[in-house]
């Protein structure tokens, strides 16, 4: 479910618990989301620690606790973070519940493609520091994109945009949104893009990331209560999810098909193959 800005949206929910101690931890021992430690070990390490702060990078979240304890969370396909009352009874899919005096921080994930990672040490874990430079960082240059498109030249551009090693945080809907704005057909091979098209692609990557963060992570202190509730109808986003909808720019019917192994939505009217 969650991509770049949606991950940030969920992380901010848990930031309600910054500065407060974890007094108890509830886990589902048999859930498959604990990827690098036994569930009971994670519970033990977090109990008594104070949640200090947190951050997101790509689709990853990292929560820093006192005593050199770190908790990584990936939401997979169906994960979410919530804040519930202190006495909240864990539901079937609530695989991690961090109890604080005034609230419970809940990680829920029905499909269990998500990940809960514990790290103990003075510095953040390697998997975190090795995440590719953010699309909104200065390191994300046109050349950075062009080099990668050349290396992945025989794959459809849609598939290439989903590769986290160069486009961290981009998921299925963001990739479609970027290609729609750049007027590029999703099945175009990465090596077929002209320098001008690569420049446009680069610009739209940044535009979509910035916009998604604006609408999902809030601007001027205004935080959406529901995911994507402020996404404008001028974006493909509000039109891409079912058959029979129309392109907000051309009014023509959108197409949906599998490209690069994923359901893809595009506007044939202005995203032409070559």
Partner DNA sequence: TCACATGTTAATTA
Partner DNA sequence: GTAATTAACATGTG
Enumerate binding residues for DNA (CB under 7 A).
1-3, 6, 32, 58-59, 74, 76-78, 92-93, 110-113, 151-156, 159, 162, 164, 171-173, 190, 228, 241, 260-263
Minimum CB distance to DNA, residue 156 (Å):
6
Q: Which is nearer to DNA, 59 or 202 (CB)?
A: 59
The residues with which 177 forms a beta bridge, in sequence order, are none
Q: Which is nearer to DNA, 101 or 150 (CB)?
A: 150
Active site residue 80: no
**Rounded Cα gap, residues 53 and 62, in angstroms:** 9
Annotated catalytic residue within 3, 6, 8, 80? 3
- State in angstroms the smallest separation of the CB of 95 from DNA: 11
For the question of residue 262 being annotated catalytic, the response is: yes
Query: How far separated are the first and last CA of the chain, in Å rounded?
Result: 31
Q: Give min distance, CB of 77 to DNA, in A.
A: 4
Q: Which is nearer to DNA, 58 or 217 (CB)?
A: 58
| Smallest distance from DNA to CB 143, Å | 16
Which are the contacts of 172, defined by CB distance < 8 A and separation ≥ 6?
Answer: 3, 162, 262, 263, 264
Which entry of 11, 59, 103, 158 is annotated as an active-site residue?
A: 59
Q: Indicate the residue among 2 and 17 with the shorter CB distance to DNA.
A: 2
Catalytic pick among 124, 199, 262, 268: 262
| CB of 22 vs DNA, minimal distance in Å | 26
Nearer Cβ to DNA (65/167): 167
Question: Which CB sits closer to DNA, 22 or 97?
Answer: 97
Residue 92 sits at φ, ψ, to 5 deg, of: -55, -40
The one catalytic residue among 2, 156, 168, 186: 2
Strand-pair partners of 120:
69
| Reduced 3-state DSSP string for the chain | CCCHHHHHHHHHHHHHHCCCECCEEEECCCCCCECCCCHHHHHHHHCCCEEEEEEEECCEEEEEECCCEEEEEECCCCCEEEEECCCCCCCCCEEEEEECCCCEEEEECCCCCCEEEEEECCCCCHHHHCCCCCCCCCCCCHHHHHHHHHHCCCCEHHHHHCCCCCCCCCCHHHHHHHHHHCCCCCCCEHHHCCHHHHHHHHHHHHHHHHHHHHHHHCECCECCCCCCCCCCCCCHHHHCCCCCCECCCCCCECEEEEECCEEEEECCCCCCCC
Task: Please confirm, yes or no, whether 59 is among the known catalytic residues.
Answer: yes
Active site residue 3: yes
Q: How far is the CB of 265 from DNA (least distance, A)?
A: 9
By annotation, the residues acting in catalysis are 2-3, 59, 262
């Amino acid at each position: 479910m969650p991509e770049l800005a949606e991950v940030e949206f969920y992380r901010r929910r848990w930031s309600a618990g910054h500065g407060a101690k974890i007094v108890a931890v509830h886990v589902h021992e048999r859930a498959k989301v604990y990827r690098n430690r036994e569930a009971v070990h994670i519970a033990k390490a977090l109990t008594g620690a104070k949640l200090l702060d947190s951050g997101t990078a790509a689709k990853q979240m990292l929560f820093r606790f006192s005593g050199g304890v770190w908790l990584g969370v990936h939401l997979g396909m169906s994960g979410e973070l919530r804040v519930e009352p202190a006495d909240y009874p864990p539901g079937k899919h609530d695989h991690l519940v961090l109890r604080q005096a005034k609230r419970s921080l809940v990680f829920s994930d029905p499909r269990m493609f998500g990940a809960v990672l514990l790290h103990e040490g003075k510095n953040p874990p390697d998997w975190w520091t090795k995440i590719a430079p953010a699309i909104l960082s200065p390191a994300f240059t046109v050349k950075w994109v062009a080099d990668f498109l050349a290396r992945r030249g025989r794959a459809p551009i849609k598939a290439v945009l989903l590769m986290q090693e160069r486009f961290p945080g981009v998921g299925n809907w963001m990739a479609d949104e970027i290609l729609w704005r750049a007027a590029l057909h999703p099945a175009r091979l990465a090596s077929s893009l002209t320098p001008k098209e690569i420049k446009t692609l680069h610009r739209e990557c940044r535009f979509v990331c910035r916009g998604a963060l604006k609408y999902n992570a809030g601007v001027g202190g205004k935080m959406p209560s529901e995911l994507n509730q402020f996404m404008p109808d001028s974006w493909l986003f509000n039109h891409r999810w079912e058959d029979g909808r129309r392109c907000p720019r051309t009014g023509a019917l959108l197409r949906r098909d599998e490209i690069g192994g994923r359901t893809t939505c595009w506007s044939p009217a202005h995203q032409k193959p070559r």
